[in-house]
Amino acid sequence: MREYELTVLIHPDFEINQDPAVNKIQKIITDNGGEITKDEDEGKKRLAYQIQKQDFAIYHYFELKLPPEALAKISATLNITNEVLRYLLVAKDEKRALAKQQKEAKEQQQDEEEEKS
């Protein structure tokens, strides 16, 4: 299974109670053999341009582990899901993740050295 990132723009009508929409997306992922490793609500944001006559959307970010055959099924299902305005499903960039971990480790080491001084 490979790692992927999924960003979903949920219809703003679900702002008050977005649990049903998020649960539906999670169910789509798990029903297709996926595993959610990270789930973040990034809140309601203004869109750069209107999507389906909406100026705002609720951004939700997932990190996933998916089998290769699940990509097409998840994409097809999200395309016809009413709660979803748009989505972006991409393979996780391993080099970027490794660079981020190294940077955080270096910053932590510098902080520890500063505390000792």
117 residues of the chain, pLDDT tens digit each:
889 999 999 999 988 888 999 999 999 999 999 999 999 999 999 999 999 999 999 999 999 999 989 899 999 999 998 999 999 999 987 777 788 788 888 888 888 888 776
47 touches 57 (CB < 8 A): yes
pLDDT at 78: 92
pLDDT of residue 117: 66
Task: State the pLDDT at residue 59.
Answer: 95
pLDDT for 104: 86
Q: Class assignment of domain 2-116? A: alpha beta
Instruction: Tell me what pLDDT residue 4 has.
Output: 93
Query: Could you give the CA distance from residue 14 to residue 111 in angstroms, rounded to a whole number?
Result: 42
Q: Whole-prediction pTM value? A: 0.77
56 exposure class (CB count in 10 Å sphere: 0-12, 13-18, 19+)? middle
pLDDT at 94: 77
